[in-house]
Amino acid sequence: MLRRLGLLLLIILLATLPLSAESEGDAVVPSEETEITPSNTEQEPSFDTNENTWGITGDDVATGLLEGVATSDGFFALSYMPDFSIGKLAFQLDVKIKGSYATDPFGLSLDFSDWKAPDRLENQSLDAYAVIALKHYSRFIRTIQYGERYDSLYIRFGKLLGITLGDGALLNGYFDRGVSVRSSRPGLEVMLDGTLLGIPDAGFQFITNDVFKPTLTAWRLFSRPLNEYPEYKTISNVQIGLSFAQSPKLLDLEDRQLLGRKLIALDLSIPIITWSWFNVDFFTDLLAQSPDNGSSKPAFAYRYGLWGHTKSFFVFNTSVTVPTFGHYYTDYFASDFENRTAQDLQNLILELGTSRLDGMFGLNFVRDGVYLRAKMTSNYTSGSYHDYRFLANARIDKRLFNIVSLDLSYEKLYPTSTGERFFEGLQTLRNVILSASAVVKVKPYSFDLGLSILFDDQAQATYTLDTAVRVSIL
């Protein structure tokens, strides 16, 4: 065992030490987002996005990826990331060992502080200590999942991907972008059929992006109160739901404003198609949002449209949203909501007298870790459509061929000044934003790639590229 470990470290050193030399340039030095730096053993580990996070990658079922990182100051880290499933239960783990080394003379010191249980403070309750211990050991879990969405019982622990709450009134195709593509945090999604609790014709969905320090918490309760009257086929499967989503008050450091909202939706759904594998409903929502910063007035709107889904593979919704009072914000909990400024938030206000049309289509290959989403939006005012917008996202959370993980997005804007029509604009690169964060493995290296391309009104491109190199041994 020691001989194999020493050989592994030697390979890591030979591959990484030359890359850290000044003559090699900055292109091969890991960025702040992906570099693993020596940590103080007394520091409490955290999934906070402002603290260091460990990298994640994946591989085929019943196998794993062994990845090593070493720096010229003597720090190294090894991560073994197995990916396996047992029936409906699937695991993606991240087992870590870190330490320090010396080359002259050769020496090796392992740090097992991550494996040791945290110290229990004097007079600390058992419940409080259990939470700390759970947070401490959850770092070894990338995801744990049972079942599939819309099953009678579905549970996922890990980064949230492709989340739609009910008909999409509050969360619509949400991806957690609060942490990098290499990082994970302990989000939780639960779908529960009330029959399992002895409550027929009812259900519950719960979502949080971090069970220990959430910036998003949402839930939905629904029931079919008329299902006891099957003779009234038209209305017997009518569904009534109540949804809620909130984020804590966060300080915008640039504008010195508190950002954070509470959103409520009351929905009524009438089934149009009810098959064993596919459902389509007509819905209408009554929407409310808590007052924004500096205002004592809440905001109200109503929304109606169609939504449907297969088991977990396909989800869609198309709708019209009409504000009726106050400053109503559209897409408040979009995937990038944690990175928005106060000015970004102002741009989301849907003015009174303007209706918003949107459609979302999502494909979820859950077992393969592949999630695809497309979204189209437009505003309608005084008989004319304007402010078109098209977004497409692709996420890969497991290893697929040489791609270990991927976050790819395409966004097409339609400024009023260009006069472009929707489909006409899709054929050009004007006012397009392309961005990608990926981990690509080519033996024995894995590459952290960050690419952003901005096309202006004349389709002239501005590029930003970040790269980092690691050693991966399969």
- CA dist 195 and 284 (Å) reads 25
Asked if 306 contacts 279 with a C-beta cutoff of 8 angstroms, the reply is no
Count how many Cα atoms sit within 13 Å of the Cα of residue 230 in the half-sphere of its side chain.
1
Q: Report which residue type is found at 62.
A: A
Q: What does the domain layout of the chain look like in residue ranges?
A: 2-134, 147-350, 351-474
Q: Comparing C-alpha atoms, which of 377, 448, 446 is closest to residue 414?
A: 377
Extract the tokens encoding 12: 């890591």
Dihedral class, residue 129 (left if φ above 0, else alpha if ψ from -120 to 50, else beta): alpha
Instruction: Determine the pLDDT at residue 10.
Output: 40
Over residues 447-458, the pLDDT tens digits come to 788 888 888 887
Instruction: Determine the pLDDT at residue 145.
Output: 92
Q: How many whole angstroms from its chain centre is CA 410?
A: 16
Instruction: Determine the pLDDT at residue 472.
Output: 56
Instruction: Determine the pLDDT at residue 461.
Output: 84
Q: What is the 3-state secondary structure (H, E, C) of the chain?
A: CHHHHHHHHHHHHHHHCHHHCHHHCHHHCCCCCCCCCCCCCCCCCCCCCCCCCCCCCCCCCCEEEEEEEECCCCEEEEEEEEEEEECCEEEEECEEEEEEEEECCEEEEEECCCCCCCCCCCCCCHHHHHHHHHHHHHHHEEEEEECCCCCCEEEEEECCCCEECCCCCCCEEECCCCCCCCCCCCCEEEEEEHHHHCCCCEEEEEEECCCCCCCCEEEEEEECCCCCCCCCCCCCCCEEEEEEEECCCEEECCCCEEECCEEEEEEEEEEEEECCCCEEEEEEEEEEECCCCCCCCCEEEEEEEEEEECCCCEEEEEEEEEEEECCEECCCCCCCHHHCCHHHHHCCEECCCEEEEEEEEEEEEHHHCEEEEEEEEEEEECCEEEEEEEEEEEEECCCECCEEEEEEEEEEECCHHHCCCHHHHHCCCCCEEEEEEEEEEECCEEEEEEEEEEECCCCCEEEEEEEEEEEEEC
Instruction: Determine the pLDDT at residue 11.
Output: 38
Which residue is it, tokens 């392309």? 434
Residue 470, judged by CB atoms within 10 A of its CB (0-12, 13-18, 19+), counts as buried
- CA dist 323 and 331 (Å) reads 13
Q: What is the per-residue burial (b if ≥16 Cβ within 10 Å, else e) of 231-246?
A: eeeeebbbbebebebb
Within 10 A of 273 (CB to CB), how many other CB atoms are there? Answer: 10
Over residues 2-50, the pLDDT tens digits come to 444 444 444 334 333 333 333 333 333 333 333 333 333 333 333 333 3
| Tens-binned pLDDT, residue by residue, of the chain (474 aa) | 444 444 444 433 433 333 333 333 333 333 333 333 333 333 333 333 333 333 333 333 445 567 777 777 788 888 888 888 888 898 888 888 888 888 777 888 888 888 888 888 888 888 888 888 888 888 888 899 999 899 999 999 999 998 999 999 999 999 998 888 878 889 999 999 999 998 989 999 999 999 998 999 999 999 999 888 877 777 888 999 999 999 887 655 555 455 678 999 999 999 998 888 899 999 999 999 998 766 668 999 999 999 999 988 999 999 999 999 998 999 999 998 888 877 788 888 999 999 999 999 999 988 778 999 999 999 999 988 888 899 999 998 877 777 878 888 999 888 766 677 777 788 888 889 898 888 887 777 777 888 888 888 878 888 887 766 665 554
Instruction: Determine the pLDDT at residue 426.
Output: 81
Give bridge partners of residue 243 from the DSSP assignment.
220, 265
- CA dist 327 and 372 (Å) reads 31
Q: Comparing C-alpha atoms, which of 408, 425, 330 is closest to residue 374?
A: 408
Q: What is the pTM assigned to this prediction?
A: 0.78
Instruction: Determine the pLDDT at residue 22.
Output: 32
Q: How many whole angstroms from its chain centre is CA 141?
A: 16
Q: What is the per-residue burial (b if ≥16 Cβ within 10 Å, else e) of 345-374?
A: beeebbeeebbbbbbbbbbbebeebbbbbb
Instruction: Determine the pLDDT at residue 61.
Output: 41
Instruction: Determine the pLDDT at residue 252.
Output: 54
